[in-house]
Amino acid sequence: MSALHHKQIPYFAFVLLALFAISATTHAKDSLQLERVILLYRHGVRTPLPGEIQLDDVTDKPWPSWAQPPSELTPHGAAGVRLMGQYDRHRLAAAGLFPTHGCPDPTQLWFWANTDQRTIASAQALAEGFAPGCNIDIGHLPQGSEDPLFHPIEAGATDWNAQHAVASIQASTGGPDTLTAPHRDALATIAKVMGCGSRHDPEWCATDQWRGGLIVSPDRQHMLLTGPIAKTSGTAEVILMAYAEGRAMRDVGWGRVTPEQLEQLSQLHALLFDIYARPDYMAERVASVMSQKIVHLLQDERAPRLSVLVGSDNNIVALASMLGLHFKMPGYANDDPPIGGAFGIELWQNTTSGHRYVRVFYQAQSLAQLRSLQPASALAQPATLILEPPGCQPDDKGRCPIEVLLSRLHR
């Protein structure tokens, strides 16, 4: 009996320790509380940028006109962004961060936009959706100026050298032709959309022979990109914008593109970031000021519960690259930031231990949702993709220790 008793003691001790561990783990999970959220939004649907269209229809059909001036957020684009603001309010109210209705405490909100009309107007639409009828301040520098938060290279806020940039990009990517080689099908699709297929096609219609290059400009101050990426990226984006705007399909690539082919055009758009935003040399500079701002927002106890930054696609790609992340949202190609979507970071605290955790995610409407201006519902919410930075050992909700994120943001 005595021997049996001594054998049972370790067993019962093991059971008690196991139960204690389960209880402690459950308690730790239950004590995690959402503290604040940072959202880096891309602006909503806009009109074509000056010079964005680099290829003209070879059958001489004109591009459809737009009612608004170049580069501006459209009314449809504002409506789509407003829906995202409504979704953010609903989601964050459900998490206990804000009241469900009424005007939030203005000290708990911070909206800051880049200096373009499309980004300022997108921030205004987001605020209107988040807090209808409330006077939410939208911060920004003078329109048309260079904000170092979004354009640190142009604003002179970071070191940058064209020769070093070209050499680094060539070394890390293999150059433009290496980047386009896996995407000849996408080039063939845009050639078809542009009307290629006659005996009088321009040279670029022979997409299997099309070559590009990346060199330093004669003044040694800029990079010059030539070839397929330079010519098709903006052109493809104009077609994507027309679809998201809800235009008749005859005005979306002259009716020569199907919704299923839009993802191929999205791939051509995304290739531009493989030159200008994703390589380490570019990412560490394009995201240099943004990354430090995010560090401040994560560590400052006085930071608002919600910080919304509204910029452009290259801001998101550069930040994602800094964090070692890739993403693919429904209907878009790999690493192509959706129109009116947001790269997000949540900060959580364990109220028992005080330890902090982060969850990184991407949220966006699909092109079809944006085209139809479909309000978020239980059956049609914007897609959310949880992202895991390298070194993160996430819990079942995708959260990892804040130190993992901070170490990469300090690069």
Which domain, by its residues, includes 86? 33-409
* pLDDT at res. 348: 97
Rounded distance between C-alpha atoms, residue 148 and residue 379, angstroms: 40
Q: Is residue 51 a part of any domain in this protein?
A: yes
Three-class SS state of 92: helix
Total domain count for the chain? 1
For 80, phi and psi rounded to 5 degrees? -65, -40
Q: Is residue 235 a part of any domain in this protein?
A: yes
* pLDDT at res. 25: 40
Q: What letters, b where the CB count within 10 A reaches 16 and e where it falls short, cover 295-312?
A: eebbeeeebbbbbbbbbb
Reduced DSSP (H G I as helix, E B as strand, rest coil) percent helix, strand, coil of the chain, to 5: 45, 15, 40
- Predicted TM-score (pTM) of the model is 0.91
Q: Is residue 394 a part of any domain in this protein?
A: yes
CB atoms within 10 A of CB 143: 12
Q: Is residue 23 a part of any domain in this protein?
A: no
Q: Is residue 11 a part of any domain in this protein?
A: no
* pLDDT at res. 198: 80
* pLDDT at res. 380: 78
The share of the chain scoring above pLDDT 90, in percent, equals: 89
For 216, phi and psi rounded to 5 degrees? -85, 140
Average pLDDT of span 158-182? 97
Q: Is residue 90 a part of any domain in this protein?
A: yes
Q: Average pLDDT over the chain, rounded to whole?
A: 92
Q: Residue 277: which CATH number? A: 3.40.50.1240
- Strands 306-311 and 32-42: what pairing? parallel
Cβ-based neighbours of 233, under 8 Å, separated by 6 or more: 268, 269, 271, 272
pLDDT per residue as tens digits for the range 100-128: 999 999 999 999 999 999 999 999 999 99
Q: Which residue has the higher pLDDT, 72 or 374?
A: 72
pLDDT per residue as tens digits for the range 197-226: 987 899 999 999 999 999 999 999 999 999
pLDDT per residue as tens digits for the range 275-296: 999 999 999 999 999 999 999 9
Q: Is residue 8 a part of any domain in this protein?
A: no
Extended beta strands in 256-338, E state: 306-311
Q: Is residue 5 a part of any domain in this protein?
A: no
